[in-house]
Every structure is written in structure tokens, then in C-alpha cells.
Amino acid sequence: MYSSEIIGCGMYVPEKVVTNHDLSKIMDTTHDWIVQRSGIEERRWVNDETSTSDLALVACEEAIKNAGIDKSEIDCLLFATISPDHDFPGNACFLQPKLGLTDIPAIDIRQQCSGFLYGMSVADAFIKSGQYKTILLVGAEIHSKGLDKSTKGRDVAVLFGDGAGAVVIRRTDVTDKTKNSHIFSTHLFAEGSNAKALWTAAPGSGLGTSQRISMQDIENGLQYPSMNGKKVFANAVRRMCECLMLALETNHLKLEDIDLFLFHQANLRINQMLAQELKIPEEKVFNTIMKYGNTTAATIPIGMSEAVKAGKLKKGSLVASAAFGSGFTWASSIYRW
């Protein structure tokens, strides 16, 4: 059976930095209040003209360059996002021509904060089956255009940022699991009964009306995301712990075998609690949420790029990732860089 490996990563965030102090000028909040609850100090927001596929394009180009391949080698494109350029078609179809690609499958993944790891699982399965050889996987989001930036929406609005991260995943032969770069395994889960604990109600066909959205829905703020923060926090810690331990057990590994932990960046307190529960040394957990906020499907590949630049992620490093998000969905993966 074939195996797959990550051979290059890239990222892009908008130039515009929005600090907590900036937010305090448009809503009733403070820098200390935001940091205490989330660990976030600043985030990046786009200008009005930029689209999600625009962010993805730059991240993808960097990933392709770092992978040392020609883009013509890519035979499948996977795009994880919950903030597409348009309702339809899928965002991968908008990104494909911007990359100068044609004919290859262009697939969207709608698994929110777990989207990148779901995408990694899809890419790994495609490659192991022999169907594709070189897959481009990108996670990108523009949240800033869909947030309630008033005091009413601050609990959610202060958490999210815009950005993109991408990886190139390619077929490989593994002769030595202790040395060769490859994806060991991925583990995916969901519990849809909690979907409305973190969601955006409108527009949608499930509103019980004849329209996907009405003026009344807009006046009621149904187009903005809403969250049961306590429920999300508790489930995130528990589920990420569970699926991370499952990944280790599946591969006959121990926590101390892992060189670096790249977790989804939803809330610094979640990652700190996760590390505390599992007794993971602080220096082994790489966080970026302080600078970028929650970029949903982009947080893990952004973390990869930042960790490489910081010298934390090196050739041969054994890495564990876990994510939890709206749906509820959660996932984990172990891979050698």
C-alpha cells in the first residue's frame, strides 16, 4: 500500500493588524478581558476587496514553492473553508483557475475548525488507494466580513481572524517508520446533536420559512455566528484529549514520543487545559492564536509554517495534531515531518 507525506507548507495572512485595543474602540471590551478569556492579543482582517480564494492562492503558491514541485504535478485540489467566496459553486472551483490548474478534481470540505484534519484524512486515503499522487490541501477563512462587531456580538467577534494555510501531500514509500516522512494515521469524529451550540442559522433552508433569509432574520442577527462558549470549551478539551490518545494508541506511541504538538487554535485556554490534562511539556506545544486568532480551517497549516520558520518543526520531527469545532466535529492525526 502507498503512504503519503507532507512535502511543503505555506501560509498567508492579511497585512491589516487588528489589536484588542482597536476592538475596544468599536465595542465594550478591553485588551485584558480578551486575553484572559482567549489568549488572543491581535488578529488579521482583510480589506473589502479580498476574497477567501485570494488568501488561499498566496498560501498555495508558497506551499508549492516550498515543496519543490511544478504545479502541473498536482492532480487533486482540496479546499477546507466555512467562509467561501460565494454560496456555490465550491471555493475549490474558484481557486483552481487562479492557480492555473484545469481538469483535476476540485473539492470543498465543510468541517469548520476540523476541516484541515478532515482534508488530510481525505488526501491520505486518496493517495493510499492509488487514485492520486500529489494533492494540494488548503484551509482558508475570511471571518471578518461575517461578524457582529458590536458589543452584542463581542463574545464571538473578538475570537476570529482571517488567514490561509496550505500543504502539498504526495505519495511516498515508507521503509522505516522511525525515519521516513509520512502520515501515520488520521481519526475523524462528529456529534451532530450539538450542531447548534456553535453555528450560523441564516441564510439556510432549515429556517422553516419560504426564504433562505428574510429582513426579519437579518434584524434578529441570524446571519452572525452564535456560540455556547462553556459547552464548546468543555467538549473541546475532552474530545481532543480522547482522539489524541486514540491516535497514539493506534500507532503504539506514547506522549513522550511526540516532538511537537500542533493543535487547532480556537482558544489558548483550551490548549493549555489540554496540555495540563495530558501533562504535555509547554515547550512541545506550538501556539499562534496570540497573533492570528481563530482562523478555523487555516490554524493548523498556519502553525506548521510558523513552526518551520521558528525552527520548532524540523525534518524528522514526529508531530501530533488535534482539532475541535462546530458540528460538533473533532479529529486527530500523527505524522512525521
Domains and CATH numbers, the chain: 3-172 (3.40.47.10), 182-336 (3.40.47.10)
76 is known as an active-site residue: no
Strand order in the sheet with 76-80: 3-12, 163-172, 134-141, 76-80, 106-109
Put simply, whether the predicted model's pTM sits higher than 0.95 gets the answer yes
Counting beta carbons within 10 angstroms of the beta carbon of residue 311, is it exposed (0 to 12), middle (13 to 18) or buried (19 or more)?
Answer: exposed
Q: Is 113 within 8 Å of 332 (Cβ atoms)?
A: no
pLDDT in tens, the chain (337 residues): 799 999 999 999 999 999 999 999 999 999 999 999 999 999 999 998 999 999 999 999 999 999 999 999 999 999 999 999 999 999 999 999 999 999 999 999 999 999 999 999 999 999 999 999 999 999 999 999 999 999 999 999 999 999 999 999 999 999 998 999 999 999 999 999 999 999 999 999 999 999 999 999 999 999 999 999 999 999 999 999 999 999 999 999 999 999 999 999 999 999 999 999 999 999 999 999 999 999 999 999 999 999 999 999 999 999 999 999 999 999 999 999 9
pLDDT, tens only, 13-66 = 999 999 999 999 999 999 999 999 999 999 999 998 999 999 999 999 999 999
287 is known as an active-site residue: no
Are β-strands 260-263 and 106-109 bridged in parallel, bridged antiparallel, or unpaired?
Answer: unpaired
113 is known as an active-site residue: yes
The single residue of 60, 76, 93, 113 carrying the catalytic annotation is 113
pLDDT, tens only, 147-156 = 999 999 999 9
The single residue of 264, 267, 271, 287 carrying the catalytic annotation is 264
The pair phi, psi for residue 74, each rounded to 5°, is -70, 125
